[in-house]
Structure 1
Amino acid sequence: MACYKIVLVRHGESEWNKANKFTGWYDADLSELGVQEAKKAGQLLKENQLKFDVAYTSVLKRAIKTLYLVQEELDLHWIPVHRHWRLNERMYGGLQGLNKAETAAAHGEDQVKRGEKVLISAHGNSLRALVKYLDNVSETEIAELNIPTGIPLVYELDADLQPIKHYYLADQAEVNAAMAKVANQGKAK
C-alpha cells in the first residue's frame, strides 16, 4: 500500500502575533521567537528523517521565511517552491491591525473566532481549511482547532490520498501548550 506524506507547518510567531493583533494579509515579519520556531520545525523534520520533493507557501513573508528556515535546516533549498495567494491568511477587513483581546472584550469571543512528499508552510486559517478537508471536520469542530506555530503536522495518506493518520512532531504536552497559546490570543482579558 502506497503511503504519501503531506507536512503542514504554521509559520512561526510573527511580530503581529506577538502583539496579539489580527494580521490577515498584512505582511508581518517573524518575531525572534518565530525564527526559532521555524528553525526548530526544520530540526524536528530532520530528526524524523522527512524529505520533500516540493513545497508550497503563501505570498506573505512570515510563511515564506518559515519555509526558507525549514529548508535551511533540511538542506533542501533545491526543491521547487510554489507560492500562491490562496494559501494566505484570511482577510480580516476592518479587524486587521486591531488587538485580538481588546476586540474580543468589546464584541464577544464568538465574533473573533500527491505522489510526492509535500511541505506546506502557511497560516493558521489556510492550514485549518486543509485539515478540515483532509479529516472531514465539521464547521463547529474546525472553528475550535488551534494549529500551533512552528510544530510540523504530518499527514500520512494511502494510495487514494485518504488520510491514514496524522501527528505533530513534538510531545503532546508541548503541542497542548502551543495550542493553548494560540487559543488564548482571541480571548478577552
Structure 2
Amino acid sequence: MHLQWIRWSIIRCYSCRKPKEVAAKMAKYKLILLRHGEGAWNKENRFCSWVDQKLSSDGIKEAQNCGRHLKALGIEFDLVFTSILSRSIQTAWLVLEQMGQEWVTTESSWRLNERHYGALIGLNRAEMALNHGEEQVKRWRRSYDVTPPPITESHLYYHEIYNDRRYKHCDVPLEKLPRSESLKEVLDRLLPYWNERIAPEVKRGKTVLISAHGNSTRALLKHLEGISDEDIVNVTLPTGVPVLLELDEDLRSLGPHQFIGDQEAIQAAIKKVEDQGKAKPTLEK
C-alpha cells in the first residue's frame, strides 16, 4: 500500500477520530467505495433506480475529478466491481481512464444495482414531498426497512426495465428479480455477492474499487461499519466522492468511513443530496 495514501488518509480523514487515534489502529485492508457521478435523473431530482441512465455533463466531470484525485494519491487498483447500470459502469471507466489504469479488470453484477424504488421510479422527489410530506419521502428514501409500493406492468418504465437484455443474464430468474426494495432487502441481495466474490479478493490483498450507487453503497457501509437501523437514515453519500474504509482481518471497519477530497466541498455536496427530498417553496402572489 502506498505510504502517501496512508499518510493522507490519516491527516485528512472525514471522521471524529484524531490522527493519532487512526494511526494507532493499523488497518489490515483498505477498500474504496464510490457512488457514481451525477446521472441525468439525479440532476432532475427524480427516482432513477433501475431505469438505465448515463451520466450528466457534471457527472462526467465528477468521475474524472475522482480519478485524478485517486491518481494523485498513488492508488493502484487491482480489481473493480460495478452494478450492471450504465452510470455505475461509466463512472468506473472514467475513473480508471484518468488514472491510466484502463486495463484493470472490471466485473459487473445486478447485486450492486441501486435500490429498486418500485412505483416511485421516475417521480420527482420534491414534488412527492409536497404531495406526501417530507417525512414520508425521507422514510421511502433513507429508512432501513420501509419498502415503497411495488412496480406493476402498467408503470411507465416497467417494460423498459424488465425487457432489458441485461436482466436475462443475472444469477436469478427474471421473475425472481425485485419489484420494490427496502434498504434491508438491498443488503440481503448484496451480501451473497460481497461474501462470495468481493470479500475473498480483499482478503487476498487486492486493492478494490466498488463503483455502485447511493443505496447499495449505504447498505454495504451499514454491514461493514455495524451502523444501526436507526442511524443509517442519517448516512448521506454525495455523487462522485470516493469513500475510504479501513478494515480489520475480519473485514470489519476500524472506524467511520472517510470521504476523500476537499471536506468543505463534500459537505456542500452532502447537503445538496439531503435537500433533494424537501418540498419546493411556493411563491407568494
TM-score in terms of structure 1 length: 0.95
Matched residue SS, 1:177: helix
Q: Pick from 16, 21, 29: which aligns with 1:4?
A: 29
Q: Which amino acid aligns with 1:167?
A: Q
Greater Cα offset, 53-62 or 163-172: 163-172
Aligned counterparts of 1:63 and 1:167: Cα–Cα separation in 2: 20
What displacement does 1:98 show?
A: 0.6
What displacement does 1:2 show?
A: 6.0
2:267 matched to 1:149?
no
The unaligned stretches of length 5 or more in structure 2 are 1-25, 142-201, 281-285
2:278 matched to 1:187?
yes
Q: Pick from 33, 36, 53: which aligns with 1:28?
A: 53
Matches within 5 A, 1:91-106: 91-106=116-131
Aligned counterparts of 1:91 and 1:32: Cα–Cα separation in 2: 25
Q: Pick from 267, 279, 282: which aligns with 1:176?
A: 267
Q: Pick from 131, 134, 155: which aligns with 2:221?
A: 131
Matched residue SS, 1:81: strand
Which residue number in structure 2 is paired with residue 120 of structure 1? 210
Aligned-residue identity in percent: 50
Matched residue SS, 1:76: coil
Matched residue SS, 1:42: helix
Aligned counterparts of 1:111 and 1:178: Cα–Cα separation in 2: 23
Which residue number in structure 2 is paired with residue 45 of structure 1? 70
The unaligned stretches of length 5 or more in structure 1 are none
Tell me, yes or no, if the aligned pair for 2:129 and 2:136 is still in contact at 8 Å.
yes
CA deviation profile, 1:165-186 (whole Å, cap 9, x unmatched) = 4311112211111111111111
Matches within 5 A, 1:58-77: 58-77=83-102
What displacement does 1:76 show?
A: 1.3
Instruction: Please say which structure displays the higher CA radius of gyration.
Output: 2
Q: Which structure is higher in strand share?
A: 1
What displacement does 1:3 show?
A: 2.5
**Distance change (3 Å), C-alpha of 1:104 and 1:2:** closer
Q: Which amino acid aligns with 2:264?
A: A
Q: Pick from 70, 77, 85: which aligns with 2:110?
A: 85
Q: Which structure is higher in helix share?
A: 2
CA deviation profile, 1:21-64 (whole Å, cap 9, x unmatched) = 00010001100000000001111111111111111000000010
Q: Which amino acid aligns with 1:142?
A: I
Q: Which amino acid aligns with 2:231?
A: E
